[in-house]
Structure 1
Amino acid sequence: MIVLTAEEVLAELRRVLAVEAEAITTLASDLGADHVRAISLLGSITGRVIVAGVGKSGHIARKIAATLASTGTPAQFVHPTEASHGDLGMVTPADACIVISNSGETTELADLVTYARRFAIPLIAITSRADSTLAREADVVLTLPDVPEACPLGIVPTTSTTATLALGDALAVALMNARGFGTEEFEVFHPGGKLGTRLKRVEALMHRGEALPLLAPDTSMREGLITMTTKGFGLAGVVEDGRLTGIITDGDLRRNLDDLLTRTAGEVATRAPKTVPMGTLVSEALHLMNDRKISALFVLDDEGRIMGLIHIHDCLRLGLG
């Protein structure tokens, strides 16, 4: 049964967030040579980063491993207990280990630490105690700030796990930048979902060939209207010598309504339409369409030839918008 008032609940929520925010701020101010060494070590290995922890630290370790893997640093979570029963075979001399323990005395980590020392596998410790057993065995020690846990009892892993998670994110992003991991690599690792779609290139969604509504400059607008209606994009491109010279939209039709059927496509078209080059991200094309309040963009190659057309409806069907 909740006995706190609404104001007291909000006050407690704010207190916890403030305590944890202060821990991250303190952690940032404590960064130094050991953190640089950690990045250098992790960036130099030819294998994977093995991340391990027990309990709440294990949950954080899983997330750190996943973040590393998705940002260009091969990584894998290994549960210390499972490691003691055969999974140590997953860890090779080409790897490096990040071992997480707030106290630095977690007994379940002993076999993994011993294995790393036996085979000279680089070991990075994340712990709150620089004098702990884990810290003494490690090649690099990343010490968490000496700040209280956020819970009233001061024992539930809250502030410490938040700081560890933030440090893991910082390591992953620093390695990502050090490796020059950019948009193209990110797309390879994130092909699914809305994010993966935003990172696709326009050529993955664009319409091509016979589907394109294209007109010669001297095409009569009577014929042009048939093409626009048949192709179903609500526009047509005017092409001369294989290059886009103009575009006809519903707005152009309305502006020329009085004598539309007596005119040619070249006379009605708006010159210098907005286009995008091959290789443009779908997210960039969508932003341009929204910004210019247009529904489609022709896609051109390096020489200005029409390669396709991307329509805003293609993006909306995939959940973008």
Structure 2
Amino acid sequence: MTPPAHTPPPTPDMDAAATVRMELAGLNALALALEDPSGLGGAFAQAVAVLLGITGRVAVTGIGKSGHVARKIQATLASTGTPSFYVHPAEASHGDLGMVLPADAILAFSNSGETTELADIAAHALRTGQPLLAVTSKATSTLATTATLALTLPAMPEACPMGLAPTTSTLMQLAFGDALAVALLRQRGFTATEFGAFHPGGRLGARLRTVREVMHTGNAMPLTAPDTPMRDVIMEMTHKALGCVGIVGQNGELAGLITDGDLRRALDHDLTTTLAQNIMNPRPLTINPDVLASEALQVMNARERPVTALFVLNPAGQPIGVVHLHDLVRAGVG
């Protein structure tokens, strides 16, 4: 009798690819559901309207793996212009419900919708009339039927081979929460400058600083008139040590720019008689003071011959500052 053929177990890379494909199927199903205005898409739009309409904060909650997702979504909401905080369901039953005020809304994550630890939070919302938004995969669950608005995600199989460990479901929750945060961000008109105000630390904070925050101003700006002899231009450039001099007209507007490169190219001139207007660049690159410092760096590097300094102009075309490449490097942008 021939023994049955032995099927080798899948290799780790096969397992990994299968896991990603199953989770991707969950995300695709979620995207399709969000495109349905009569289903999840319509509920999503209602959720955005509810959260935009409150005068308080969003209390985000969940426990277990859903709790970890809830913490991440809360952090994303807070950093993108939607005031929020995380409340642990178990601690809520022991006094932390006092954190949730009447003007707040509650956003609860639970895949099954039967998480017993969320019962007290749901009851609190019913007593106080706070909006309770439930993100769950079971439309008939206790949480979904108790909620002001049920946001029912597609029921998809977990990537775990036992179908037990939250994998696909938590990824879908995470994507849904991100979609909610981004929709609120767009509706609020939240800007990169506001984002930078919430992220002042580290490299991200540095890249979100504006030119106004790092530029040289006042007497630190190297400036001179068009009829200034080049000998004096060189003295101004040397004294201010920014590698350039701005040439200003009668109304204080920036009429041109002389860089140390321009000086080198003008060495065949008689510097005792040559004037600034004879060698200046009449169309220098300039920048707005409220542009991000990271954008200033891109402007400097965009040309075939990168520049090391940019004059910063007000709406009248008058110089109000100079930003140098070294300033951007010191600020952590470069």
Task: Give TM-score, length-normalised by structure 2.
Answer: 0.90
Partner Cα distance (2:268, 2:96) in 1 = 79
Alignment of 1:35-114 (within 5 A): 35-114=44-123
Is 2:187 the partner of 1:184? Answer: no
1:33 Cα deviation (Å)?
Answer: 1.5
Question: 1:66-95 CA deviation, whole Å, 9 max, x = no partner?
Answer: 111111111110000110000001112211
Q: How has the CA–CA distance of structure 1 residues 267 and 151 changed in structure 2, closer, same or farther, with 3 Å as cutoff?
A: same
User: Partner of 2:176: helix, strand, or coil?
Assistant: helix
Unmatched runs of 5 consecutive residues or more in structure 2: 1-7, 35-40
Alignment of 1:183-202 (within 5 A): 183-202=192-211
Of residues 225-234 and 100-109 in structure 1, the stretch that sits farther from structure 2 once superposed is: 225-234
Q: How has the CA–CA distance of structure 1 residues 260 and 112 changed in structure 2, closer, same or farther, with 3 Å as cutoff?
A: farther
Give the one of 317, 328, 333 matched to 1:304.
317
1:43 Cα deviation (Å)?
Answer: 1.3
Is 2:258 the partner of 1:248? Answer: yes
In the other structure, the counterpart of 1:259 is 269
> Is the Cα contact below 8 Å between 2:293 and 2:333 reproduced in 1?
no
Q: Tell me the amino acid that sits aligned with residue 59 of structure 1.
A: H
Partner Cα distance (1:14, 1:215) in 2 = 65
> Is the Cα contact below 8 Å between 2:257 and 2:284 reproduced in 1?
yes
Partner Cα distance (1:202, 1:17) in 2 = 42
Task: Give structure 1 regions of 4+ aligned residues with deviation exceeding 6 angstroms.
Answer: none
Partner Cα distance (1:317, 1:14) in 2 = 43
In the other structure, the counterpart of 1:291 is 302
User: Partner of 1:270: helix, strand, or coil?
Assistant: coil
Partner Cα distance (2:11, 2:311) in 1 = 57
User: Partner of 2:161: helix, strand, or coil?
Assistant: coil
In the other structure, the counterpart of 1:15 is 18
Partner Cα distance (2:332, 2:19) in 1 = 36
Question: 1:78-137 CA deviation, whole Å, 9 max, x = no partner?
Answer: 000110000001112211111111111111111111111111111111111111111111
Question: 1:123-181 CA deviation, whole Å, 9 max, x = no partner?
Answer: 11111111111111111111122211112222111111111010000011111111222
Q: Tell me the amino acid that sits aligned with residue 244 of structure 1.
A: L
User: Partner of 1:278: helix, strand, or coil?
Assistant: coil
Partner Cα distance (1:227, 1:41) in 2 = 60
1:299 Cα deviation (Å)?
Answer: 0.7
Partner Cα distance (2:11, 2:330) in 1 = 45
Partner Cα distance (1:280, 1:158) in 2 = 41
Work out the number of aligned pairs and report it.
Answer: 316
Q: Tell me the amino acid that sits aligned with residue 141 of structure 1.
A: A
In the other structure, the counterpart of 2:286 is 275
Partner Cα distance (2:268, 2:206) in 1 = 43
Alignment of 1:24-43 (within 5 A): 24-31=27-34, 32-43=41-52
Partner Cα distance (2:220, 2:23) in 1 = 56
Unmatched runs of 5 consecutive residues or more in structure 1: none
> Is the Cα contact below 8 Å between 1:48 and 1:74 reproduced in 2?
yes
Partner Cα distance (1:44, 1:123) in 2 = 13
Give the one of 158, 163, 169 matched to 1:154.
163
Q: RMSD of the alignment, in Å?
A: 1.7
Task: Give TM-score, length-normalised by structure 1.
Answer: 0.93
User: Partner of 1:110: helix, strand, or coil?
Assistant: helix
Partner Cα distance (2:47, 2:254) in 1 = 53
1:260 Cα deviation (Å)?
Answer: 4.9
Q: Tell me the amino acid that sits aligned with residue 51 of structure 1.
A: V
> Is the Cα contact below 8 Å between 1:253 and 1:260 reproduced in 2?
no
Partner Cα distance (1:200, 1:98) in 2 = 32
Identity across the alignment (%): 54
In the other structure, the counterpart of 2:244 is 235
Partner Cα distance (2:29, 2:139) in 1 = 16
Partner Cα distance (2:324, 2:89) in 1 = 51
Question: 1:36-62 CA deviation, whole Å, 9 max, x = no partner?
Answer: 111111111111111110111111101
1:316 Cα deviation (Å)?
Answer: 1.1
